[in-house]
Amino acid sequence: MASERSLEVLRVIVQDYVSSREPVGSKAIVERHGFGVSAATIRNDMAQLEEEELIAAPHTSSGRIPTDKGYRVFVDQLADLRPLSPAQKQAIETFLGSSLDLDDVLSRTVRLLSQFTGQVAMVQYPTLSRTTLRHIELVPIAHDRVLTVVITDGGHVAQRVVDLPEPADEEFLADLRARFVTAAAGSALQAAAEALAAVPAQFAPDRASTAAAVATALVDQVLENRQDRIVLAGTGNLARTERDFPGSIHPVLDAIEEQVVLLRLFREMALDQNGIAVSIGRENTVSGLAEASVLTSGYSSSSGELAHLGVLGPTRMDYSNNMAAVRAVARYLSRLLGEG
């Protein structure tokens, strides 16, 4: 069992290695950190850490780097989950607070999180199959074109321009919209789609084809986002840290292209008491991420659905900063969507 001082040595090894990407030696630890002991004593501590497989020598130099196990001990026992700076908090409120709809807020979320952490940022859409249809609008564009708008209780807005087979006046479109709303508003998405598809049968044949064209568009809009999906930003950050993947960066790139892989990983990661989950290196059960770390937290949509957001990058990352950023953005996103 590592002593208290050995764990402090592990802490500074992780911090120095993350900062410099250079293996950390006993002499550097003595010079940079006020342990008040000799380099020989620090070497003994490092030997204990190495025996417990918390650090390792990457080559014949005297320096050591953290192992996956060492990062795990750091995250579980030593990481300082410091709060974000006032400037960072203000950036979250300003950038996300001006979002237009769910698509926009999630797009802004991953861009902001990627900037804060320097990693690949990921956010999962709420599972729309568990939401309900809130509202429908039909907006005339021309005598034979209409904009269809579908809004769910989760804040998702879908729009589509529909070319009508026959000209339609505003009175007919108002009647059509009212029937769609009466049939489907407040229903779960699958039931709403079925109800919308049945509406054209309420009209005479000369109007049924126009109603059917609109109904088809609405059904597609309702169903198109029922499945889980993930928005990404900052993939280019991986290229800047390519040297941190000793094997190859390509398996990581392949993994993040497969959304089903990331969704499965999200489902498998259990949040701790701080609302954070961290999976490090070979702890990742999905193919391609054995040299990567994934940090996630959960957020709630306006309908109460839990979804995940997080970051992915090399195991040599600033865990304290990234964990704080992920948690803070998740909490603000829950608050923002809860007000919707």
pLDDT over 80 (residue 128): no
- Distance set, CA 259 to CA 13, 251, 253, 310 (Å): 34, 14, 11, 14
Average pLDDT over residues 18-23: 92
pLDDT confidence band for 15 (50 / 70 / 90): very high
Q: Report residue 282 as tokens.
A: 């070979």
Residues 121, 105, 178, 213: is their CA dihedral positive or negative?
A: negative
Mean pLDDT of the chain: 89
Identify the CA nearest to 175 among candidates 218, 207, 198, 132: 207
Q: Tell me, what DSSP letter sits at residue 244?
A: G
**Extents of the domains making up the chain:** 4-78, 86-127+228-338, 129-223
DSSP for 176-203 reads HHHHHHHHHTTSBHHHHHHHHHHGGGGS
Does 86-127+228-338 carry CATH code 3.30.450.40?
A: yes
Pairing of strands 65-66, 120-124: unpaired
212 alpha carbon, distance to own chain's centre: 37
Residue 207: the pLDDT is 92
Average pLDDT over residues 78-107: 86
Give tens-digit pLDDT for 95-117: 888 887 888 999 999 999 999 99
- Distance set, CA 280 to CA 110, 217, 269, 320 (Å): 21, 44, 11, 14
pLDDT over 70 (residue 303): no
Give the phi and the psi of residue 138 in degrees, each rounded to 5. Answer: -120, 115
Average pLDDT over residues 112-132: 86
Average pLDDT over residues 187-205: 90
pLDDT over 80 (residue 247): no
- The residues, ordered by sequence, that sit 6+ positions from 14 with a Cβ below 8 Å of its Cβ are 66, 70, 71, 74, 78, 319
Residue 53: the pLDDT is 95
Q: Are 294 and 315 in contact (CB under 8 A)?
A: no
pLDDT confidence band for 317 (50 / 70 / 90): very high
Average pLDDT over residues 28-57: 91
Identify the CA nearest to 66 among candidates 22, 5, 30, 3: 22
Identify the CA nearest to 52 among candidates 33, 29, 73, 78: 73
pLDDT confidence band for 144 (50 / 70 / 90): very high
Residue 113: the pLDDT is 96
Identify the CA nearest to 46 among candidates 63, 22, 60: 63
pLDDT confidence band for 76 (50 / 70 / 90): very high
pLDDT confidence band for 188 (50 / 70 / 90): confident
pLDDT over 60 (residue 254): yes
Q: Higher model confidence: residue 330 or residue 241?
A: 330
Residue 17: the pLDDT is 95
Highest CATH level, class, for 4-78: mainly alpha
Which one of 3.30.460.80, 3.40.50.720, 2.30.40.10, 3.30.390.60 gives the CATH number of domain 129-223? 3.30.390.60
pLDDT confidence band for 304 (50 / 70 / 90): low
> Residue 274 corresponds to which amino acid?
N
